[in-house]
Structure 1
Amino acid sequence: MIEFRDVTVSYTGTPALREASFTVGEGELCLVVGPTGSGKSTLLGAACARVPHFSGGLLSGTVLVAGRDTRDHLPRDLADVVGVVGQDPLASFVTDSVEEELAFAMEQLGVAPALMRKRVEEVLDLLGLAPLRGRALADLSGGEQQRVAIGAVLTAQPRILVLDEPTSALDPGAAEDVLAALTRLVHDSGITVLLAEHRLERVVQFADSVISLTPDGVAAAGAPAAVLAHSSVAPPVVELGRLANWDPLPLSVRDARRVAGPLRERVRDGLAAAAGTTRAGAPKDRAGRPPSGAAAKLVADGLHVRYGATHAVRGVDLALPAGEVVALMGRNGSGKSSLLWALSGRGRRSGGTVTLPDGTDPAELTPAVARREVALVPQAPSDLLYLPTVAAECAAADEQAAAGAGTTASILDSLTPGIDAARHPRDLSEGQRLALAVAVQLAATPRVLLLDEPTRGLDYTAKAHLVAALDELRAGGHTILVASHDVEFVARVAGRVVLLAEGEVVADAPAEEVLRDSPTFAPQVAKILAPVGVLTVADVREALAAGAAAEGPP
């Protein structure tokens, strides 16, 4: 269905994709992986003719889509066979409500009204959108918008689906539902899916093939286990398999648990040795916890947020101590973003109070003072970016934060190295744009930092750099509250988890207590090695090292 023959794509003389050759067959789910900025979006764009017809640049080689050469066919000429879902759902919407958006593509293709109604109902059920059918698109959460964008493509019943990070804004449960729906379409309807995703732990077990891109745009294609065994980016189950020298390499929790018995015992012994106890050893203390008796940097008391008839936040009480990383979790629409905006002082409140240690409400602060006290990185990073180049954004952030020249640029380079400072922020990938917004806010070293889905579009390496940056802030006495669906990131960075449901706090406890036994929020390592109390590959590595040290030299 999709064939690339020696395809190279260049922008201003710099190749984003180099001599890519591969074939994606009918009824196949092909996963595209690679570091942030490695050319994944360019590859997807070439597969639907948006590159170079819409994006510009120079394409050499041949791209065939359902037998049609993209040199001779514009994106509109492929609309009957290819459906595309981009990284930013808002950018794709052309109507105001959910039902209208689901019907729009069919209207353009001339589908009969009775058939349109039938397909809309089917997609509403397939993606769990029925409760949202009459809602305005602007009032939906980011994850809900993502599901609508996917549904708007599915109603046209294309033969090929091209998706750029389709689960990046979804909670784990919703992501599983979407991936299960895509898998059913592949297996039952023979639809071909080309999908790029950074959260590989969610999707790799569904893939029939993988295309791995290096940072300079070189592609390698093949079977998932063979490609991921040598890929620079890999999910925790693969990293754990590499550490344990498992062969063949498992790609799912189920397959890993079948061979994890000996490793589980070694980790149990290592934890016991590290704790100086018997085999009943306990998990290690997590870095995200605050010092004992740390004073609160931000306190919410009885906080409410309403949007018309929607009660988004219901009487939330929350204290954020100095030197703590807190993760805010919950399904899409549970009120996480509304709570962050209310805490920042820049969002709506319908009741309750938010105070800093001196009793000041963040809403009363000037913007210049507020960014040093309570800074928010929103889910849409473009909300913070307004200048024509990356260099200009970095320079302005340095000036506004009263930081030394180059501070923001240095932070950005540590998160995602190699971004051209002369590029416009809108021309960056979603992950690069998010990293820039994070760097802009980190330059002021705010006492309280609020992050809304900060790993969306970031590869595993960039996430590790973000973890290091947040841990440095935490060690310096700063407080971080991060709303995230990324359970692997939360397991690495947070010492405490606050779980929201329907705008209310339903759990507020140490991270390992909330994550370890949860069927929805447990990270892959916790599922594989349960009931042993570890959450990450790093935890396993430390336990094995402790066990080896206790045994002494042979």
Structure 2
Amino acid sequence: MITFDQVSVHYEDASEPVLRDVDLTVEEGELCLVVGHTGVGKSTLLGAVNGLVPHFTGGTLHGRVTVDGRDTADHPPRELADVVGVVGQDPLDGFVTDTVEEELAYSMEQLAVPPATMRKRVEETLDLLGLADLRHRALYELSGGQQQRVAIGSVLTAHPRILVLDEPTSALDPTAAEEVLSAVTRLVHDLGVTVLLAEHRLERVVQYADRVIHLPGDGRVVTGGPADVFRTSSIAPPIVELGRAAGWSPLRLSVRDARRAAAPLRTALAGVTPPPARPAPAPDRETLLTARKVTVAYHGVPAVREVDIALRGGEVTALMGRNGSGKSSLLWALQGSGPRKAGSVAVGTEDGAAGPDPRKLPATEARRLVGLVPQTPTDLLYLESVKQELDQADAESEVPARGTARSLLDQLAPGIPDTTHPRDLSEGQKLALVLAIQLAAAPRVVLLDEPTRGLDYRAKLELIRIVDRLAAEGRAVVISTHDVEFVARAADRVVVMAEGDIVADGPTEEVIVASPVFAPQTAKILAPLPFLTVDQLTAVLPAPAAADAGNGNAAESGTGTGTGGPAGHARPADEAHGGAAPTGTAGGPA
């Protein structure tokens, strides 16, 4: 169905080709998971499938790419639209109509699908992706996750034989992501659709993959079965990191299989108290922001309902909830730029007194009090090069020396040239750039709206370190996210919203473990043991227990590990940090 024959792609401003001598064949009805760190060429590989690379992206493509027998060199994207459906990283970039229903029908109109068939497919897709209640809504009114589902649906209605998905679940809550992936899997199994799917949140998708295409970063492509590739890959989800630590062979890639294999491990760890996933915040934390009865409504429809919240210095708060629950609306209301129908917000001053409402301050002053990184980072990028954006951030933030924003960017996404135009960056790189710009001002309260979208595990680990540093400096950090693995590693406190209300607020280990939706993989596999992360496991797991727990026959037969328990065998904290991958790679958050 898809064939790459000695394909190399080289861009003019790059010293090395992003893809080098790629030989790859993808069969009909195969679901291939494309993995790799941010900026290694995943989007280029996907773009070559429908001719976007190089017809629209520029650069030079050597070799031959054929799709359903058509050479992409001779067939631009418009001549492959009946075969290949593409959903990019940013759904707004692909919308061409005004409402959900119109967007779902648009691609079929271009392909001259009969009206009766169009109506039937629209209804099927609305039900398939849970969009029926939104059919008449304007696209710009939808949350980021809702827009993502519409973008996927607009492609599915055309019934393509090949589906290319670039970060399809990045803006979705866990339940919505599961629904979308289940729908994609049904297309593969029932209709024989071929799917190429690039995703950084591997814990969501690895169990569905027939094959993994790994881009190590040197232009090569390594392909094989998921268990084989992840055995030694530099990037892996927590379930794989746990399997590596326990020595499982073969690796288990679903929570169900991992729980069965982990039975001896749970027995060996019974009664063991794991080290804290994060250092406990200081008890005498200063309240930096206080919100009272905050209400936000759009066209009379409430998005936030009389919310009270206090943010304390030195504390990292995760804001969670399903798509459309009001998380982004609350963040914008706290920052001061968004609409607020009622309620008050006060930011504490350096001397602890109740300070001003950022809504009533000039933008420059408000930014030093409350900084916000939006879901769509391109909203804050307007200059011609990365260097200009970074220099402007330093100037506006009035930092003592230039280079602060550049240093932050290099920690999140190293290797981005100064001369690159911001719009030419991948979505993950754009997000990293905006994070660096906003964090350069080091405001007392930092609000991050889906900051891990498009970031790989390594970049998320760097983001955690930056967030930890901000908290250590006494700043309050709020992270709105659907990334439960990131929350387990990064947050001290979790606030859950539903329909504009706060329905849960408490320590991370209490809130997310109690929820089957928000529990991380490690917690699901080792339940009822109180482990949240692989780091906690490796800190107490002795080598003998790991070896015995990794015995596939023993695990499946339910025999014990033969150890006396792991007490007294804790690893040093610095050795445990970063996971337990035997290859020496850092096991970052998912």
Please classify the TM superposition score into its range, dividing by the shorter chain length.
over 0.9
Aligned residue type for 1:171 = D
Match of 2:437 among 421, 436, 440: 440
Question: Could you tell me how far apart the structure 2 residues matched to 1:380 and 1:552 are?
Answer: 42
CA displacement 1:83-130 (0-9 Å, x = unmatched): 000001001000000000000000011011111100000000000000
Q: CA deviation at 1:508?
A: 0.4
Aligned to 1:72: 74
Question: Could you tell me how far apart the structure 2 residues matched to 1:229 and 1:448 are?
Answer: 41
Q: Give the 3 Å change call, closer, same or farther, for CA 289–98 of structure 1 in structure 2.
A: farther
Question: Is residue 350 of structure 1 aligned with residue 344 of structure 2?
Answer: no
Match of 2:390 among 372, 387, 394: 394
Q: CA deviation at 1:359?
A: 3.1
- TM value normalised by structure 2: 0.90
Question: Could you tell me how far apart the structure 1 residues matched to 2:19 and 2:267 are?
Answer: 45
Aligned to 1:249: 251
Aligned to 2:560: none
Question: Is residue 11 of structure 1 aligned with residue 11 of structure 2?
Answer: yes
Q: How does 1:124-135 map to 2 (within 5 A)?
A: 124-135=126-137
Q: CA deviation at 1:293?
A: 2.6
Does the 8 Å contact 1:124/1:130 carry over to 2?
Answer: yes
Q: How does 1:36-51 map to 2 (within 5 A)?
A: 36-51=38-53
Question: Could you tell me how far apart the structure 1 residues matched to 2:10 and 2:144 are?
Answer: 32
Q: CA deviation at 1:217?
A: 2.5
Where does structure 2 lack aligned partners over 5 or more consecutive residues? 349-353, 544-564, 572-590
Q: CA deviation at 1:267?
A: 3.6
Does the 8 Å contact 1:341/1:348 carry over to 2?
Answer: yes
Match of 1:463 among 435, 460, 464: 460
Aligned residue type for 2:323 = N
Question: Could you tell me how far apart the structure 1 residues matched to 2:345 and 2:75 are?
Answer: 56
Question: Is residue 377 of structure 1 aligned with residue 373 of structure 2?
Answer: yes
- Secondary structure of 2:382's partner? coil
- Secondary structure of 1:9's partner? strand
> Cα RMSD (Å) of the superposition?
1.5
Q: How does 1:354-503 map to 2 (within 5 A)?
A: 354-357=345-348, 358-403=354-399, 404-503=401-500
Q: CA deviation at 1:309?
A: 2.7
Q: CA deviation at 1:269?
A: 4.8
Aligned to 2:578: none
Aligned to 1:84: 86
Question: Could you tell me how far apart the structure 2 residues matched to 1:7 and 1:94 are?
Answer: 32
- Secondary structure of 2:517's partner? coil
- Secondary structure of 1:550's partner? coil
Moved more, 290-299 or 450-459: 290-299
Question: Could you tell me how far apart the structure 2 residues matched to 1:302 and 1:217 are?
Answer: 53
Aligned to 1:327: 318
Where does structure 1 lack aligned partners over 5 or more consecutive residues? 272-282
Question: Could you tell me how far apart the structure 2 residues matched to 1:84 and 1:314 are?
Answer: 37
Question: Is residue 312 of structure 1 aligned with residue 303 of structure 2?
Answer: yes
Q: CA deviation at 1:146?
A: 0.2
Question: Is residue 214 of structure 1 aligned with residue 216 of structure 2?
Answer: yes
Aligned residue type for 1:338 = S
Match of 2:192 among 175, 190, 196: 190
Q: CA deviation at 1:519?
A: 1.2
Aligned to 1:228: 230
Question: Could you tell me how far apart the structure 2 residues matched to 1:552 and 1:335 are?
Answer: 42
Does the 8 Å contact 1:330/1:501 carry over to 2?
Answer: yes
Question: Could you tell me how far apart the structure 1 residues matched to 2:476 and 2:270 are?
Answer: 32
Aligned residue type for 1:377 = V
Q: CA deviation at 1:543?
A: 2.7
Q: Give the 3 Å change call, closer, same or farther, for CA 113–552 of structure 1 in structure 2.
A: closer
Q: CA deviation at 1:430?
A: 0.3
Question: Could you tell me how far apart the structure 1 residues matched to 2:225 and 2:427 are?
Answer: 27
Q: Give the 3 Å change call, closer, same or farther, for CA 534–440 of structure 1 in structure 2.
A: same
Q: CA deviation at 1:285?
A: 3.9
Q: CA deviation at 1:266?
A: 3.7
Q: Give the 3 Å change call, closer, same or farther, for CA 77–17 of structure 1 in structure 2.
A: same
Question: Could you tell me how far apart the structure 2 residues matched to 1:545 and 1:315 are?
Answer: 50
In the TM superposition, structure 1's runs of 4+ consecutive aligned residues that sit over 6 Å from their partners are none
Question: Could you tell me how far apart the structure 1 residues matched to 2:279 and 2:429 are?
Answer: 25
Aligned residue type for 2:200 = H
Q: CA deviation at 1:493?
A: 0.3
Moved more, 454-463 or 541-550: 541-550
- Secondary structure of 1:32's partner? strand
The percent of aligned pairs where both chains have the same amino acid is 63
Q: CA deviation at 1:39?
A: 0.2
Q: CA deviation at 1:43?
A: 0.2
Does the 8 Å contact 2:540/2:567 carry over to 1?
Answer: no
Aligned to 2:513: 516
Moved more, 125-134 or 8-17: 8-17
Match of 2:96 among 91, 94, 109: 94
CA displacement 1:252-277 (0-9 Å, x = unmatched): 11111111122223444542xxxxxx
How many residues are paired up? 542
Question: Could you tell me how far apart the structure 2 residues matched to 1:469 and 1:222 are?
Answer: 35
Aligned to 1:530: 527
Does the 8 Å contact 1:288/1:471 carry over to 2?
Answer: no
Question: Is residue 25 of structure 1 aligned with residue 27 of structure 2?
Answer: yes
Q: CA deviation at 1:356?
A: 1.1
Q: CA deviation at 1:551?
A: 5.2
